[in-house]
C-alpha cells in the first residue's frame, strides 16, 4: 500500500495507553510529535564529519538509544525514532526527532515507516537498540530473548533490505566473549557466550554479516561493556521499575531507596574475589555510535569494535569509589547466575578507526547516575528508561 508522507506530525495522544491502543488499530504508521518540550535546539551543531545523515533509531526511546538520539541531533543529523515503548519513554525523544510507535517484530509496520519516510528523504543509516539485555533474566527466559533479539533483528533487516537502507549500526555486547581467561577482550578473540543474552547477540552479529554479504550492506557492530551514567542535561537516564545493574542499585542505596547493596559473589578468580567489569559512560558510548554511523557511510566497509573504557574495576572497587562520594550499606551475597569473572575491553580498534576516546571516568559515571536519580525522586520530569 502506498502511504502519504506526513509533513505535519500527527496530534499527540494524551496518554501512553491511548498511544498503544491507537497503534493497535491504525493501518497507517503515524509520525507523532514529542510528548513534552524536551528540546535540544540550543545544542545543535554541524557534525565534525561534515555529514548530515538521516538516521532511523529503532529503540530510540530507551536508555542507550535516547542518549544516541541526543548525540546525533547535537551533531546535526536528522533522526526518526521507532520504539514500542515497552521499556522506553516517549518523553525521552527530543522534539527535533520524529517518532513512530511500533514494534521491531512488526515487519509490515516497519516497511510502511521506511516507505513513508523515504518519500521525503531515504534513511542513510539505521541503528538497532531494541533488544532485551538483562543477563540473569536471559538465563530464566531464554526463548523470550531469542524471540526479541534474534527474530526482532531478522524482521528489521528484512525491512531494511526491502526499503533500500544500506547502513546499519548494531548494539552488541561484551557478553559474546563469555568467560575470558586473561585480561582484555580483543575483537578477534574467541566468542563463547555463557548466557542466553550473549548467545542471542552473537547470533544477531552473524545474521548481520551474512545479510550484509548477500545484500551489499555496510554495518558497524559495537560490543558494549558496562554502560552507566546519564546525560549532563539529566533529562534522560536509566529509569526502570526493576533495576538490576550495579551502578543504579548503588545509587538507590545511597539515596535511601533500598536498604543496602548486595555484592554477588566474593569467590571469583580475581584479586579481591568480586567480578571485574569495564564501565563506560553512556554519553561516550552514544558518541561512538554517531562516529560509527559516519564511518560506515564514508568508508563503505564494515566495522566491529569494542566500546568500553579499557579499564577494569572489581565490584568491590566500584563500591569503594562510590563510598568515597556517598554513604550507603552493602553486604556480600551468593554469586548471580551467568556472571563471568572478568570482562575488560581492549579499545584500540575504536580509537584507531573512529578516533574515539572515552572522556568520562568512573566518578563521573557514578555522580551523573546519582544526580539523575535524585532528580527523579524530587518529582521533576520523568525521563527515559
Interface positions with ligand UFG (CB under 6 A): 133, 135, 173-175, 225-226, 244-246, 249, 261-264, 275, 277, 315, 336, 339, 343
- Considering the complex, what minimum distance in angstroms separates the CB of residue 279 from ligand UFG? 9
Give the residue closest to ligand UFG by C-beta: 275
Phi, psi of 345 (to 5 degrees): -85, 140
How buried is residue 242: exposed, middle or buried, by Cβ count under 10 Å (0-12/13-18/19+)?
Answer: exposed
Q: Based on CB atoms, which residue is closest to ligand UFG, 94 or 196?
A: 196
Catalytic residue among 70, 177, 197, 219: 197
- Considering the complex, what minimum distance in angstroms separates the CB of residue 274 from ligand UFG? 7
Residue 303, strand partner residues: 220
Q: How many CB atoms within 10 Å of residue 257?
A: 14
Q: How many CB atoms within 10 Å of residue 325?
A: 12
Q: Tell me the residue length of the chain.
A: 385
Alpha-carbon span 361 to 38, nearest angstrom: 27
Q: Based on CB atoms, which residue is closest to ligand UFG, 106 or 284?
A: 284
Q: Based on CB atoms, which residue is closest to ligand UFG, 69 or 344?
A: 344
- Considering the complex, what minimum distance in angstroms separates the CB of residue 107 from ligand UFG? 26
For residue 19, what is its C-alpha cell?
Answer: 498511544
- Considering the complex, what minimum distance in angstroms separates the CB of residue 140 from ligand UFG? 14
Alpha-carbon span 205 to 222, nearest angstrom: 10
Angle at 303 between CA 190 and CA 171, to 5 degrees: 75
User: Is 146 considered catalytic here?
Assistant: no
Q: Based on CB atoms, which residue is closest to ligand UFG, 55 or 275?
A: 275
List residues with catalytic annotation: 197
Amino acid at each position: 500500500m502506498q502511504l502519504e508522507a506526513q509533513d505535519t506530525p500527527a496530534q499527540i495522544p494524551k496518554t501512553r495507553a491511548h498511544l498503544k491502543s491507537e497503534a493497535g488499530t491504525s493501518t497507517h504508521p503515524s509520525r507523532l510529535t514529542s510528548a513534552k518540550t524536551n528540546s535540544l535546539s540550543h545544542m545543535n551543531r554541524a557534525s565534525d564529519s561534515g555529514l548530515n545523515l538521516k538516521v532511523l533509531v529503532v529503540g530510540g526511546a530507551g536508555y542507550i538509544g535516547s542518549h544516541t538520539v541526543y548525540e546525533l541531533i547535537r551533531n546535526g543529523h536528522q533522526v526518526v525514532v521507532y520504539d514500542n515503548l515497552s521499556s522506553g519513554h516517549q518523553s525521552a525523544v527530543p522534539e527535533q526527532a520524529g517518532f513512530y510507535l511500533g514494534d521491531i517484530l512488526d515487519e509490515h509496520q516497519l516497511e510502511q515507516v521506511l516507505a513513508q519516510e523515504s518519500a521525503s528523504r531515504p534513511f542513510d543509516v539505521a541503528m538497532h537498540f531494541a533488544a532485551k539485555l538483562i543477563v540473569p533474566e536471559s538465563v530464566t527466559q531464554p526463548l523470550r530473548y531469542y524471540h526479541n533479539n534474534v527474530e526482532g533483528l531478522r524482521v528489521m533487516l528484512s525491512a531494511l533490505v526491502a526499503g533500500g537502507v544500506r547502513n546499519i549500526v548494531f548494539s552488541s555486547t561484551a557478553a559474546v566473549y563469555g568467560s575470558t581467561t586473561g585480561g582484555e577482550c580483543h575483537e578477534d578473540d574467541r566468542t563463547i557466550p555463557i548466557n542466553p543474552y550473549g548467545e542471542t547477540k552473537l547470533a544477531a552479529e552473524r545474521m548481520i554479516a551474512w545479510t550484509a554479504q548477500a545484500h551489499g550492506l555496510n554495518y558497524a557492530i559495537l560490543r558494549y561493556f558496562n554502560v552507566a551514567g546519564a546525560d549532563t542535561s539529566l533529562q534522560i537516564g536509566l529509569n526502570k521499575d526493576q533495576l538490576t545493574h550495579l551502578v543504579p542499585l548503588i545509587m538507590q542505596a545511597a539515596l535511601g531507596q533500598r536498604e543496602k547493596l548486595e555484592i554477588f559473589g566474593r569467590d571469583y578468580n580475581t584479586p579481591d574475589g568480586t567480578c571485574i567489569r569495564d564501565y563506560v559512560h553512556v554519553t561516550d558510548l552514544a558518541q561512538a555510535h554517531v562516529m560509527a554511523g559516519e564511518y560506515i557511510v564514508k568508508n563503505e566497509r564494515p566495522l566491529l569494535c569494542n566500546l568500553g573504557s579499557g579499564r577494569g574495576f572489581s565490584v568491590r572497587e566500584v563500591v569503594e569509589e562510590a563510598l568515597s562520594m556517598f554513604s550507603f550499606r552493602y553486604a556480600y551475597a551468593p554469586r548471580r547466575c551467568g556472571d563471568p569473572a572478568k570482562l575488560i575491553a581492549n579499545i584500540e580498534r575504536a580509537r584507531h578507526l573512529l578516533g574515539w576516546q572515552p572522556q568520562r571516568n568512573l566518578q563521573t559515571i557514578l555522580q551523573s547516575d546519582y544526580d539523575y536519580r535524585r532528580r527523579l525522586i524530587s518529582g521533576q520530569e520523568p525521563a527515559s528508561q
